[in-house]
């Protein structure tokens, strides 16, 4: 995709290659379940806005997923508002910014929620399985798990980035920054 603009057709590929684990998890759960609870819609929706998805595309994307399981009228009535709201088109008309790692790490996802940070909120078994699924070699997996045990979640994320991209990261403190770094790393 050209810089600054991302269309719906780009999302699957970008999610696989350049989304941090927190956003991959939300994105593929949405694709699979055709639903996300509020915390997940906020965390992923604002991230996608930061990635460059425009309001009309965002509405179409969420609508096409949610209406696999509910009538269009219900989506338009109950869900479209908060998407427009996040783009500053409703309510106080604030143009909301995507969540930082700190905000995501300190969130408290409940049962059935998919938001949060996998390094902070997944069980060790789950996280290990996800890392292996990302083709991290055993040494890299151990390096990540070690940082998680010491509660250095953002360092664990940076270690994952380095293992996946084969180049150093500048440190991770925001999911959109992970994304930008990944796009840069994959172009060179």
Interhelix angle 138-149/124-133, rounded to 10 degrees, is 150
The pattern of x and - marking residues 28 through 67 that bind ligand SF4 according to CB under 6 A reads: ----------------------------------------
Phi, psi of 105 (to 5 degrees): -65, -35
Q: Please, which of residues 6-25 interact with ligand SF4 by CB under 6 A?
A: 20-22
Closest CA to 58 of 45, 69, 68: 45
Least Cβ distance, residue 104 to ligand SF4 (angstroms): 4
Task: Report, in Å, the least distance between residue 178 CB and ligand SF4.
Answer: 5
Does 175 sit near ligand SF4 (CB under 6 A)? yes
Tell me the CA distances in angstroms from 160 to 34, 69, 128, 139, one per residue in order.
Answer: 28, 34, 11, 11
C-alpha–C-alpha distance, residues 31 and 68, integer Å: 10
State which of residues 119, 130, 147, 185 lies at the interface with ligand SF4 (CB under 6 A). 119
Q: Which of 61, 62, 66, 153 binds ligand SF4 (CB under 6 A)?
A: 153
User: For ligand SF4, which is the closer residue by CB, 79 or 99?
Assistant: 99
Q: Is 130 in the site for ligand SF4 (CB under 6 A)?
A: no
What gap in Å lies between CA 173 and CA 100, rounded to an integer?
A: 7
Site for ligand SF4 in 87-106 (CB under 6 A): 101, 104-105
**Which residues, in sequence order, are CB contacts of 36 under 8 Å at separation 6+?**
26, 29, 30, 44, 114
Residue 68 class from Cβ within 10 Å (0-12 exposed, 13-18 middle, 19+ buried)? Answer: exposed
Annotated binding site for [4Fe-4S] cluster: 22, 101, 117, 157
User: In the complex, which residues of this chain contact ligand SF4 (CB under 6 A)?
Assistant: 20-22, 101, 104-105, 117-119, 153-154, 157, 172, 175, 178
């Amino acid at each position: 995709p050209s810089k600054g603009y991302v269309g719906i057709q780009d999302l699957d590929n970008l999610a696989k290659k350049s989304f941090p684990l927190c956003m991959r998890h939300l994105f593929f759960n949405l694709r699979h379940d055709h639903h996300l609870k509020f915390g997940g819609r906020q965390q992923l929706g604002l991230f996608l806005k930061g990635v460059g998805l425009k309001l009309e595309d965002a509405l179409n994307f969420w609508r096409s997923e949610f209406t696999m399981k509910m009538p269009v009228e219900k989506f338009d009535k109950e869900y479209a508002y908060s998407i427009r709201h996040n783009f500053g088109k409703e309510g106080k008309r604030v143009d909301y910014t995507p969540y930082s790692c700190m905000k995501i790490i300190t969130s408290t996802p409940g049962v059935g929620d998919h938001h949060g940070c996998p390094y902070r909120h997944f069980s060790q078994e789950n996280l290990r399985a996800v890392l292996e699924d990302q083709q991290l070699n055993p040494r890299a997996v151990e390096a990540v798990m070690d940082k998680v045990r010491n509660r250095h979640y953002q360092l664990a994320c940076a270690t994952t980035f380095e293992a996946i991209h084969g180049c150093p990261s500048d440190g991770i403190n925001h999911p959109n920054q992970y994304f930008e770094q990944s796009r840069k790393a994959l172009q060179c």
